[in-house]
Structure 1
Amino acid sequence: MTFIGNSIALIGNKGYEQVDNWAALFAAGFIVYSAIGIIRPALGEIMDKALENKLLEEVRKIAAAKKEVKRVEKCFICKMRFDYFVDIHIEVDADLTVADGHLIVHAAKDHLIKYNKKIRDALVHIEPYFLG
Protein backbone atom coordinates (compact mmCIF):
# COMPACT_ATOMS: atom_id res chain seq x y z
CA MET A 1 0.00 0.00 0.00
CA THR A 2 2.69 2.47 0.94
CA PHE A 3 4.62 1.41 -2.17
CA ILE A 4 1.73 2.66 -4.30
CA GLY A 5 1.58 5.90 -2.30
CA ASN A 6 5.31 6.44 -2.69
CA SER A 7 5.16 5.72 -6.41
CA ILE A 8 2.32 8.17 -6.99
CA ALA A 9 4.06 10.85 -4.91
CA LEU A 10 7.33 10.42 -6.84
CA ILE A 11 5.78 10.17 -10.30
CA GLY A 12 3.20 12.90 -9.74
CA ASN A 13 5.77 15.45 -8.51
CA LYS A 14 4.27 18.63 -7.03
CA GLY A 15 0.82 18.39 -5.49
CA TYR A 16 0.99 14.62 -4.86
CA GLU A 17 3.11 14.70 -1.70
CA GLN A 18 0.15 13.91 0.57
CA VAL A 19 -0.69 10.69 -1.30
CA ASP A 20 2.12 8.89 0.54
CA ASN A 21 0.72 10.01 3.91
CA TRP A 22 -2.77 8.85 3.01
CA ALA A 23 -1.48 5.48 1.80
CA ALA A 24 0.45 5.03 5.06
CA LEU A 25 -2.67 5.93 7.05
CA PHE A 26 -4.70 3.40 5.05
CA ALA A 27 -2.04 0.72 5.64
CA ALA A 28 -2.05 1.50 9.37
CA GLY A 29 -5.82 1.09 9.43
CA PHE A 30 -5.51 -2.25 7.68
CA ILE A 31 -2.92 -3.39 10.25
CA VAL A 32 -5.21 -2.40 13.13
CA TYR A 33 -8.14 -4.20 11.49
CA SER A 34 -6.02 -7.36 11.08
CA ALA A 35 -4.78 -7.16 14.67
CA ILE A 36 -8.33 -6.98 15.99
CA GLY A 37 -9.20 -10.04 13.92
CA ILE A 38 -6.33 -11.93 15.51
CA ILE A 39 -6.86 -10.72 19.08
CA ARG A 40 -10.63 -11.20 19.23
CA PRO A 41 -10.71 -15.04 19.40
CA ALA A 42 -7.88 -15.06 21.95
CA LEU A 43 -9.71 -12.57 24.16
CA GLY A 44 -12.82 -14.73 23.91
CA GLU A 45 -10.90 -17.68 25.32
CA ILE A 46 -9.29 -15.60 28.06
CA MET A 47 -12.67 -14.17 29.07
CA ASP A 48 -14.21 -17.68 29.03
CA LYS A 49 -16.66 -16.85 26.26
CA ALA A 50 -19.65 -19.15 25.96
CA LEU A 51 -19.22 -21.66 23.20
CA GLU A 52 -21.44 -22.07 20.19
CA ASN A 53 -24.78 -23.73 20.91
CA LYS A 54 -24.12 -26.53 18.43
CA LEU A 55 -21.45 -28.19 20.59
CA LEU A 56 -23.44 -27.59 23.76
CA GLU A 57 -26.54 -29.23 22.29
CA GLU A 58 -24.49 -32.16 20.98
CA VAL A 59 -22.99 -32.78 24.42
CA ARG A 60 -26.44 -32.58 26.03
CA LYS A 61 -27.84 -35.03 23.48
CA ILE A 62 -24.96 -37.49 23.95
CA ALA A 63 -25.32 -37.40 27.74
CA ALA A 64 -29.10 -37.83 27.54
CA ALA A 65 -28.69 -40.83 25.22
CA LYS A 66 -27.70 -43.04 28.13
CA LYS A 67 -30.84 -44.87 29.29
CA GLU A 68 -30.09 -44.27 32.98
CA VAL A 69 -30.02 -40.49 32.47
CA LYS A 70 -33.52 -39.11 32.95
CA ARG A 71 -32.68 -35.49 32.19
CA VAL A 72 -29.72 -33.16 31.65
CA GLU A 73 -30.16 -30.34 34.13
CA LYS A 74 -27.18 -28.08 33.37
CA CYS A 75 -24.30 -28.17 30.94
CA PHE A 76 -21.30 -25.86 30.71
CA ILE A 77 -18.35 -26.16 28.36
CA CYS A 78 -15.08 -24.31 28.79
CA LYS A 79 -12.40 -24.16 26.12
CA MET A 80 -8.76 -24.08 27.08
CA ARG A 81 -6.34 -23.90 24.17
CA PHE A 82 -7.42 -26.76 21.89
CA ASP A 83 -9.39 -28.81 24.41
CA TYR A 84 -12.86 -28.64 25.92
CA PHE A 85 -13.76 -29.22 29.55
CA VAL A 86 -17.36 -30.19 30.25
CA ASP A 87 -19.25 -29.59 33.48
CA ILE A 88 -22.61 -31.32 33.32
CA HIS A 89 -25.41 -32.09 35.77
CA ILE A 90 -27.50 -35.15 34.98
CA GLU A 91 -30.58 -36.40 36.77
CA VAL A 92 -30.89 -40.11 37.53
CA ASP A 93 -33.47 -42.21 39.36
CA ALA A 94 -33.58 -40.99 42.98
CA ASP A 95 -33.77 -44.53 44.34
CA LEU A 96 -30.40 -45.63 42.96
CA THR A 97 -27.58 -46.55 45.29
CA VAL A 98 -24.42 -44.46 45.46
CA ALA A 99 -22.52 -47.27 43.73
CA ASP A 100 -25.03 -47.35 40.86
CA GLY A 101 -24.89 -43.56 40.54
CA HIS A 102 -21.11 -43.72 40.48
CA LEU A 103 -21.17 -46.25 37.62
CA ILE A 104 -23.60 -44.06 35.65
CA VAL A 105 -21.36 -41.01 36.14
CA HIS A 106 -18.30 -42.84 34.85
CA ALA A 107 -20.24 -44.28 31.90
CA ALA A 108 -21.52 -40.81 30.98
CA LYS A 109 -18.06 -39.28 31.31
CA ASP A 110 -16.41 -41.99 29.23
CA HIS A 111 -19.15 -41.71 26.61
CA LEU A 112 -18.64 -37.92 26.30
CA ILE A 113 -14.87 -38.20 26.01
CA LYS A 114 -15.16 -41.03 23.47
CA TYR A 115 -17.72 -39.06 21.44
CA ASN A 116 -15.50 -36.01 20.93
CA LYS A 117 -11.72 -36.35 21.09
CA LYS A 118 -11.37 -32.64 21.87
CA ILE A 119 -13.13 -33.13 25.21
CA ARG A 120 -10.22 -33.52 27.57
CA ASP A 121 -12.26 -34.02 30.74
CA ALA A 122 -15.85 -34.06 31.93
CA LEU A 123 -17.06 -33.33 35.43
CA VAL A 124 -20.38 -35.11 35.79
CA HIS A 125 -22.65 -34.29 38.72
CA ILE A 126 -25.65 -36.43 39.52
CA GLU A 127 -28.91 -35.11 40.83
CA PRO A 128 -31.96 -37.10 41.94
CA TYR A 129 -34.80 -37.26 39.43
CA PHE A 130 -38.30 -37.02 40.82
CA LEU A 131 -41.42 -37.33 38.70
CA GLY A 132 -43.49 -34.20 38.67
Structure 2
Amino acid sequence: MTEPHGLTPQETFALTRRVTLYSVATAGVLVTIKIAAWLASGSVALLASTADSGLDLLASLTTFFAVRYAAAPPDAEHRYGHGKAEGFASLVQAGLVFASAALIGQQAIEDLIHPRPIADGAWALAVMGVSVVLTGVLIAAQSQVLKKAASVAVSGDRAHYAADFASNLVALAGIGLAAFLGLNSLDAVAALAIAALLLWGAVGVFREASGQLMDHELPDEVRAQIVALMTKDPQVTDVHQLRTRAAGPYVHIQMHVDMDPKLTLEAAHKAIVAAEKRVLDAFPAADIIIHADPRGRAEPHGGAFAETHAA
Protein backbone atom coordinates (compact mmCIF):
# COMPACT_ATOMS: atom_id res chain seq x y z
CA MET A 1 0.00 0.00 0.00
CA THR A 2 1.47 3.38 -1.05
CA GLU A 3 1.94 5.60 2.00
CA PRO A 4 0.77 9.25 1.94
CA HIS A 5 3.41 11.97 1.80
CA GLY A 6 3.46 15.49 3.19
CA LEU A 7 2.73 17.32 -0.07
CA THR A 8 -0.28 19.32 -1.15
CA PRO A 9 -2.34 17.95 -4.08
CA GLN A 10 -0.92 20.72 -6.28
CA GLU A 11 2.68 19.77 -5.46
CA THR A 12 1.92 16.10 -6.07
CA PHE A 13 0.29 16.90 -9.41
CA ALA A 14 3.28 18.95 -10.57
CA LEU A 15 5.63 16.01 -9.89
CA THR A 16 3.43 13.30 -11.41
CA ARG A 17 2.63 15.41 -14.48
CA ARG A 18 6.31 15.77 -15.37
CA VAL A 19 7.27 12.15 -14.78
CA THR A 20 4.28 10.77 -16.74
CA LEU A 21 5.17 13.00 -19.68
CA TYR A 22 8.71 11.62 -19.60
CA SER A 23 7.27 8.11 -19.43
CA VAL A 24 5.24 8.65 -22.62
CA ALA A 25 8.25 10.15 -24.42
CA THR A 26 10.50 7.25 -23.39
CA ALA A 27 7.99 4.63 -24.52
CA GLY A 28 7.55 6.40 -27.87
CA VAL A 29 11.28 6.43 -28.56
CA LEU A 30 11.69 2.77 -27.56
CA VAL A 31 8.84 1.58 -29.77
CA THR A 32 10.28 3.39 -32.78
CA ILE A 33 13.84 2.09 -32.50
CA LYS A 34 12.79 -1.45 -31.55
CA ILE A 35 10.50 -1.79 -34.57
CA ALA A 36 13.38 -0.78 -36.83
CA ALA A 37 15.77 -3.20 -35.12
CA TRP A 38 13.30 -6.10 -35.19
CA LEU A 39 12.66 -5.62 -38.92
CA ALA A 40 16.41 -5.75 -39.48
CA SER A 41 17.22 -8.70 -37.18
CA GLY A 42 14.11 -10.90 -36.98
CA SER A 43 14.87 -11.61 -33.31
CA VAL A 44 11.91 -13.08 -31.43
CA ALA A 45 13.29 -11.71 -28.14
CA LEU A 46 13.44 -8.29 -29.73
CA LEU A 47 9.91 -8.77 -31.10
CA ALA A 48 8.80 -9.62 -27.57
CA SER A 49 10.45 -6.52 -26.22
CA THR A 50 8.93 -4.41 -29.02
CA ALA A 51 5.44 -5.69 -28.24
CA ASP A 52 6.00 -4.96 -24.58
CA SER A 53 7.16 -1.42 -25.36
CA GLY A 54 4.07 -0.87 -27.50
CA LEU A 55 1.88 -1.78 -24.55
CA ASP A 56 4.14 0.36 -22.35
CA LEU A 57 3.27 3.32 -24.56
CA LEU A 58 -0.44 2.62 -24.19
CA ALA A 59 -0.07 2.16 -20.42
CA SER A 60 1.98 5.35 -20.12
CA LEU A 61 -0.66 7.30 -22.03
CA THR A 62 -3.32 5.88 -19.69
CA THR A 63 -1.29 6.99 -16.67
CA PHE A 64 -0.58 10.37 -18.28
CA PHE A 65 -4.29 11.18 -18.53
CA ALA A 66 -5.27 9.42 -15.29
CA VAL A 67 -3.04 11.54 -13.02
CA ARG A 68 -4.44 14.68 -14.62
CA TYR A 69 -8.02 13.55 -14.13
CA ALA A 70 -7.29 12.39 -10.56
CA ALA A 71 -5.97 15.87 -9.69
CA ALA A 72 -9.23 17.55 -10.72
CA PRO A 73 -11.01 19.11 -7.72
CA PRO A 74 -14.24 17.62 -6.35
CA ASP A 75 -17.41 18.51 -8.23
CA ALA A 76 -21.15 18.09 -7.71
CA GLU A 77 -21.06 14.50 -8.98
CA HIS A 78 -17.79 13.43 -7.33
CA ARG A 79 -17.72 14.97 -3.88
CA TYR A 80 -14.77 12.81 -2.84
CA GLY A 81 -12.73 13.95 -5.82
CA HIS A 82 -11.43 11.90 -8.74
CA GLY A 83 -8.41 10.27 -7.09
CA LYS A 84 -9.45 6.69 -7.81
CA ALA A 85 -8.82 7.30 -11.50
CA GLU A 86 -5.21 6.41 -10.66
CA GLY A 87 -6.31 3.02 -9.35
CA PHE A 88 -8.27 2.31 -12.53
CA ALA A 89 -5.24 3.32 -14.60
CA SER A 90 -3.11 0.83 -12.68
CA LEU A 91 -5.65 -1.94 -13.35
CA VAL A 92 -5.46 -1.12 -17.07
CA GLN A 93 -1.67 -1.36 -16.82
CA ALA A 94 -1.88 -4.76 -15.15
CA GLY A 95 -4.25 -6.04 -17.86
CA LEU A 96 -1.96 -4.80 -20.61
CA VAL A 97 1.04 -6.47 -19.00
CA PHE A 98 -0.84 -9.77 -18.73
CA ALA A 99 -1.79 -9.52 -22.41
CA SER A 100 1.78 -8.71 -23.38
CA ALA A 101 3.13 -11.68 -21.42
CA ALA A 102 0.65 -14.04 -23.09
CA LEU A 103 1.56 -12.87 -26.59
CA ILE A 104 5.27 -13.02 -25.88
CA GLY A 105 5.01 -16.50 -24.38
CA GLN A 106 3.06 -17.79 -27.37
CA GLN A 107 5.60 -16.42 -29.84
CA ALA A 108 8.51 -17.77 -27.80
CA ILE A 109 7.08 -21.29 -27.71
CA GLU A 110 6.59 -21.22 -31.48
CA ASP A 111 10.18 -20.12 -31.94
CA LEU A 112 11.45 -22.85 -29.63
CA ILE A 113 9.75 -25.38 -31.88
CA HIS A 114 10.95 -23.68 -35.06
CA PRO A 115 14.10 -21.67 -34.18
CA ARG A 116 15.28 -19.00 -36.59
CA PRO A 117 18.75 -17.46 -36.93
CA ILE A 118 19.35 -13.86 -35.81
CA ALA A 119 20.31 -11.39 -38.54
CA ASP A 120 22.15 -8.13 -37.81
CA GLY A 121 22.64 -9.10 -34.19
CA ALA A 122 24.91 -6.12 -33.50
CA TRP A 123 22.12 -3.70 -34.48
CA ALA A 124 19.66 -5.53 -32.24
CA LEU A 125 22.12 -5.47 -29.34
CA ALA A 126 22.69 -1.73 -29.77
CA VAL A 127 18.96 -1.03 -29.65
CA MET A 128 18.51 -3.15 -26.54
CA GLY A 129 21.43 -1.32 -24.92
CA VAL A 130 19.73 2.01 -25.58
CA SER A 131 16.50 0.55 -24.15
CA VAL A 132 18.25 -0.47 -20.93
CA VAL A 133 19.71 3.03 -20.47
CA LEU A 134 16.48 4.93 -21.21
CA THR A 135 14.38 2.61 -19.05
CA GLY A 136 16.86 2.86 -16.19
CA VAL A 137 16.77 6.66 -16.29
CA LEU A 138 12.96 6.63 -16.30
CA ILE A 139 12.79 4.25 -13.31
CA ALA A 140 15.21 6.49 -11.39
CA ALA A 141 13.03 9.55 -12.13
CA GLN A 142 9.86 7.69 -11.05
CA SER A 143 11.55 6.52 -7.85
CA GLN A 144 12.49 10.11 -6.97
CA VAL A 145 8.89 11.23 -7.48
CA LEU A 146 7.52 8.40 -5.32
CA LYS A 147 9.87 9.38 -2.48
CA LYS A 148 8.08 12.73 -2.39
CA ALA A 149 4.52 12.00 -3.58
CA ALA A 150 2.04 9.14 -3.24
CA SER A 151 0.69 8.02 -6.61
CA VAL A 152 -0.56 4.49 -7.24
CA ALA A 153 -0.57 5.20 -10.99
CA VAL A 154 3.09 6.23 -11.05
CA SER A 155 3.93 3.34 -8.71
CA GLY A 156 2.23 0.94 -11.13
CA ASP A 157 4.01 2.52 -14.08
CA ARG A 158 7.35 2.13 -12.30
CA ALA A 159 6.65 -1.54 -11.53
CA HIS A 160 5.81 -1.99 -15.20
CA TYR A 161 9.06 -0.40 -16.34
CA ALA A 162 11.09 -2.23 -13.69
CA ALA A 163 9.89 -5.50 -15.24
CA ASP A 164 10.70 -3.95 -18.61
CA PHE A 165 14.23 -3.13 -17.45
CA ALA A 166 14.79 -6.72 -16.37
CA SER A 167 13.25 -8.03 -19.59
CA ASN A 168 15.56 -5.81 -21.66
CA LEU A 169 18.58 -7.26 -19.85
CA VAL A 170 17.31 -10.80 -20.47
CA ALA A 171 16.63 -10.02 -24.13
CA LEU A 172 20.09 -8.47 -24.45
CA ALA A 173 21.69 -11.68 -23.15
CA GLY A 174 19.49 -13.91 -25.33
CA ILE A 175 20.16 -11.95 -28.52
CA GLY A 176 23.89 -11.84 -27.82
CA LEU A 177 24.16 -15.59 -27.26
CA ALA A 178 21.97 -16.37 -30.25
CA ALA A 179 23.73 -13.98 -32.63
CA PHE A 180 27.36 -14.64 -31.74
CA LEU A 181 27.33 -18.22 -30.43
CA GLY A 182 24.73 -19.59 -32.82
CA LEU A 183 22.49 -20.76 -29.96
CA ASN A 184 19.25 -19.68 -31.62
CA SER A 185 16.99 -21.39 -29.09
CA LEU A 186 18.32 -19.07 -26.36
CA ASP A 187 16.61 -16.15 -28.08
CA ALA A 188 13.25 -17.85 -27.49
CA VAL A 189 14.24 -18.87 -23.96
CA ALA A 190 14.99 -15.21 -23.25
CA ALA A 191 11.52 -14.28 -24.55
CA LEU A 192 9.94 -16.83 -22.18
CA ALA A 193 11.89 -15.31 -19.29
CA ILE A 194 10.58 -11.89 -20.29
CA ALA A 195 7.01 -13.21 -20.20
CA ALA A 196 7.54 -14.59 -16.70
CA LEU A 197 8.97 -11.27 -15.46
CA LEU A 198 6.03 -9.39 -16.91
CA LEU A 199 3.53 -11.68 -15.17
CA TRP A 200 5.29 -11.15 -11.86
CA GLY A 201 5.23 -7.37 -12.33
CA ALA A 202 1.55 -7.43 -13.32
CA VAL A 203 0.58 -9.23 -10.10
CA GLY A 204 2.26 -6.50 -8.02
CA VAL A 205 0.54 -3.71 -9.97
CA PHE A 206 -2.84 -5.43 -9.62
CA ARG A 207 -2.48 -5.89 -5.87
CA GLU A 208 -1.61 -2.24 -5.24
CA ALA A 209 -4.36 -0.91 -7.49
CA SER A 210 -7.01 -3.22 -6.08
CA GLY A 211 -6.00 -2.26 -2.54
CA GLN A 212 -6.75 1.38 -3.26
CA LEU A 213 -9.96 0.70 -5.18
CA MET A 214 -11.20 -1.53 -2.35
CA ASP A 215 -10.50 1.22 0.22
CA HIS A 216 -7.72 -0.63 2.00
CA GLU A 217 -6.75 1.01 5.27
CA LEU A 218 -3.58 3.10 5.42
CA PRO A 219 -0.56 1.37 7.05
CA ASP A 220 -0.70 0.87 10.82
CA GLU A 221 2.12 3.34 11.45
CA VAL A 222 0.21 6.06 9.60
CA ARG A 223 -2.96 5.36 11.58
CA ALA A 224 -0.93 5.48 14.81
CA GLN A 225 0.51 8.84 13.75
CA ILE A 226 -3.01 10.21 13.17
CA VAL A 227 -4.13 9.07 16.65
CA ALA A 228 -1.02 10.61 18.24
CA LEU A 229 -1.64 13.94 16.52
CA MET A 230 -5.30 13.96 17.54
CA THR A 231 -4.64 13.14 21.22
CA LYS A 232 -1.77 15.60 21.57
CA ASP A 233 -4.35 17.89 23.14
CA PRO A 234 -5.46 16.40 26.51
CA GLN A 235 -9.00 17.57 25.75
CA VAL A 236 -9.17 14.79 23.13
CA THR A 237 -8.91 11.70 25.30
CA ASP A 238 -9.65 8.90 22.84
CA VAL A 239 -9.96 8.20 19.11
CA HIS A 240 -12.21 5.40 17.87
CA GLN A 241 -14.00 4.39 14.70
CA LEU A 242 -10.93 5.61 12.80
CA ARG A 243 -11.33 4.88 9.10
CA THR A 244 -8.78 5.78 6.45
CA ARG A 245 -8.36 5.25 2.74
CA ALA A 246 -6.32 6.62 -0.14
CA ALA A 247 -7.63 7.81 -3.48
CA GLY A 248 -4.86 8.90 -5.85
CA PRO A 249 -3.11 11.91 -4.31
CA TYR A 250 -5.77 12.28 -1.61
CA VAL A 251 -6.24 10.67 1.82
CA HIS A 252 -9.68 10.41 3.43
CA ILE A 253 -9.80 10.22 7.24
CA GLN A 254 -12.84 9.97 9.48
CA MET A 255 -13.04 9.29 13.21
CA HIS A 256 -14.92 9.71 16.47
CA VAL A 257 -13.21 11.38 19.44
CA ASP A 258 -14.09 11.42 23.14
CA MET A 259 -14.19 14.81 24.88
CA ASP A 260 -15.21 16.16 28.27
CA PRO A 261 -19.03 16.44 28.22
CA LYS A 262 -18.76 19.64 30.29
CA LEU A 263 -17.05 21.50 27.46
CA THR A 264 -19.15 24.08 25.69
CA LEU A 265 -19.92 23.48 22.04
CA GLU A 266 -17.65 26.38 21.13
CA ALA A 267 -14.75 25.03 23.21
CA ALA A 268 -15.17 21.51 21.77
CA HIS A 269 -15.29 22.92 18.25
CA LYS A 270 -12.10 24.92 18.85
CA ALA A 271 -10.25 21.84 20.14
CA ILE A 272 -11.39 19.72 17.17
CA VAL A 273 -10.34 22.38 14.63
CA ALA A 274 -6.90 22.59 16.27
CA ALA A 275 -6.56 18.79 16.14
CA GLU A 276 -7.62 18.76 12.50
CA LYS A 277 -4.94 21.34 11.68
CA ARG A 278 -2.29 19.16 13.31
CA VAL A 279 -3.28 16.25 11.08
CA LEU A 280 -3.39 18.49 8.00
CA ASP A 281 0.14 19.73 8.72
CA ALA A 282 1.32 16.11 8.41
CA PHE A 283 -1.08 15.15 5.59
CA PRO A 284 -1.86 18.26 3.49
CA ALA A 285 -3.84 16.20 0.96
CA ALA A 286 -6.22 14.82 3.60
CA ASP A 287 -9.99 15.17 3.74
CA ILE A 288 -10.93 14.87 7.42
CA ILE A 289 -14.26 14.28 9.17
CA ILE A 290 -14.32 14.30 13.01
CA HIS A 291 -17.30 13.44 15.20
CA ALA A 292 -17.16 14.44 18.90
CA ASP A 293 -18.62 12.14 21.57
CA PRO A 294 -19.22 13.11 25.22
CA ARG A 295 -16.80 10.91 27.17
CA GLY A 296 -18.61 8.20 29.12
CA ARG A 297 -22.04 9.19 27.84
CA ALA A 298 -21.93 8.31 24.14
CA GLU A 299 -24.19 5.63 22.77
CA PRO A 300 -22.89 3.23 20.08
CA HIS A 301 -23.59 4.68 16.67
CA GLY A 302 -25.80 2.92 14.12
CA GLY A 303 -25.64 2.72 10.36
CA ALA A 304 -24.22 0.23 7.91
CA PHE A 305 -20.92 0.06 9.81
CA ALA A 306 -22.26 0.50 13.32
CA GLU A 307 -19.84 0.39 16.23
CA THR A 308 -20.58 -2.09 18.99
CA HIS A 309 -20.32 -1.81 22.77
CA ALA A 310 -17.29 -4.12 22.59
CA ALA A 311 -15.57 -1.87 20.05
SS in 1 for 2:221: helix
Percent same amino acid among aligned pairs? 21
* Structure 1: gaps spanning 5 or more residues: none
Decide whether aligned partners of structure 1 residues 69 and 10 sit closer, same or farther in structure 2, where only a CA change above 3 A counts.
Answer: closer
1:86/1:119 contact within 8 Å kept: no
Partner of residue 72 from structure 1, selected from 236, 239, 243: 239
Amino acid at match of 2:215: D
CA deviations on 1:21-78 (whole Å, 9 max, x unpaired) are 2221111111222233333322221121121111100110110111211211232221
Count of matched residue pairs: 128
TM-score between the two structures when normalised by the length of structure 1: 0.79
Q: Which is greater in Rg?
A: 1
- Greater relative contact order (Cα < 8 A, sep 6+): 2
Considering fraction of residues, name the structure with more strand: 1
Q: Tell me the residue number matched to 2:216.
A: 49
Partners of 2:277 and 2:179 in 1: how far apart?
68
Deviates more, 1:99-108 or 1:79-88: 99-108
SS in 1 for 2:241: strand
Q: Tell me the residue number matched to 1:5.
A: 174
1:6 deviation in Å?
A: 4.2
User: For 1:86-125, what aligned pairs fall within 5 Å after superposition?
Assistant: 86-114=253-281, 116-125=282-291
Partners of 1:28 and 1:82 in 2: how far apart?
31
TM-score between the two structures when normalised by the length of structure 2: 0.37
* Structure 2: gaps spanning 5 or more residues: 1-169, 298-311
Partners of 2:214 and 2:265 in 1: how far apart?
36
1:103 deviation in Å?
A: 2.2
Decide whether aligned partners of structure 1 residues 37 and 118 sit closer, same or farther in structure 2, where only a CA change above 3 A counts.
Answer: farther
Decide whether aligned partners of structure 1 residues 69 and 3 sit closer, same or farther in structure 2, where only a CA change above 3 A counts.
Answer: closer
Considering fraction of residues, name the structure with more helix: 2
Q: Tell me the residue number matched to 2:293.
A: 127
RMSD over aligned CA atoms reads: 2.3
Amino acid at match of 2:291: H
Decide whether aligned partners of structure 1 residues 10 and 109 sit closer, same or farther in structure 2, where only a CA change above 3 A counts.
Answer: closer
